């Protein structure tokens, strides 16, 4: 991977992992027909210990076809995006992961990943038993995808870097 040109704005790996853990949605980019990029927004669960991103969806369609043809993907999560019109700028913070996407075929990994994903988004209204029951109902048509993350990079606006150092905005 290339090194980031604006190296002063690079986020530490710890901050990148924190952003991935707390984020709820990201955009996965895949090489599609005629080498066009195909970017699809998805909700996800990030396993920080395994450095894997998991998401679910129908087990057929363009995304599945493209992943099988070219499994190398990128995945972007935007943590902050605040317009700063006074300074003709935007305060932003984002993370991009690069890795290999694959269909989760192992049953134990499938159930754990889908339960973790469901718990992340529904635990306030559903019990663990209800989540497992729903997984069993939808198992036939619901596929799980994992991105085995190989490289993570993050960047934030230079204004945020300056603020952290106690410097004024320019």
In a domain, 138, yes or no: no
On whether residue 169 sits in a domain, the answer given is no
Q: Residue 63 belongs to a domain with what CATH number? A: 2.30.110.10
- Look up tokens 């603020």; give the residue: 163
In a domain, 112, yes or no: no
Residue 35 lies in a domain: yes
Helices (H), the chain: 13-22, 62-69, 107-122, 128-138, 158-164
Q: Which domain does 13 fall in, by range?
A: 7-105+143-162
Report the candidate in 53, 19, 79 with the shortest Cα–Cα distance to residue 149: 53
Predicted TM-score (pTM) above 0.85 = yes
3-state secondary structure of 99: strand
In a domain, 128, yes or no: no
In angstroms, the CA 44 to CA 26 distance is: 7
Please indicate, yes or no, if residue 82 is contained in any of the structural domains: yes
Chunked mean pLDDT (size 10), the chain, 170 residues: 74 95 96 93 95 90 89 95 82 94 93 88 80 76 91 90 81
Residue 44: strand, helix, or coil: coil
Count up the domains in the chain and report the number: 1
């Amino acid at each position: 991977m290339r090194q980031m040109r604006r190296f002063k704005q690079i986020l530490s790996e710890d901050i990148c992992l924190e952003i991935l853990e707390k984020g709820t949605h990201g955009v996965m980019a895949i090489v599609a027909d005629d080498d066009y990029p195909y970017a699809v927004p998805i909700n996800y669960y990030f396993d920080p210990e395994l450095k894997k991103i998991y998401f679910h969806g129908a087990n057929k369609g363009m995304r599945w076809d493209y992943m099988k043809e070219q499994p190398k993907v990128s995945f972007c999560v935007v943590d902050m995006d605040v317009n700063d019109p006074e300074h003709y700028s935007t305060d932003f913070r984002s993370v991009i992961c690069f890795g290999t996407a694959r269909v989760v075929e192992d049953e134990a990994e499938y159930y754990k990943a889908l339960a973790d994903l469901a718990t992340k988004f529904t635990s306030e209204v559903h019990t663990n038993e209800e989540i497992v029951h729903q997984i069993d109902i939808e198992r036939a048509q619901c596929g799980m995808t994992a991105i085995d993350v190989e490289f993570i990079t993050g960047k934030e606006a230079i204004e945020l870097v300056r603020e952290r150092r106690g410097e004024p905005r320019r």
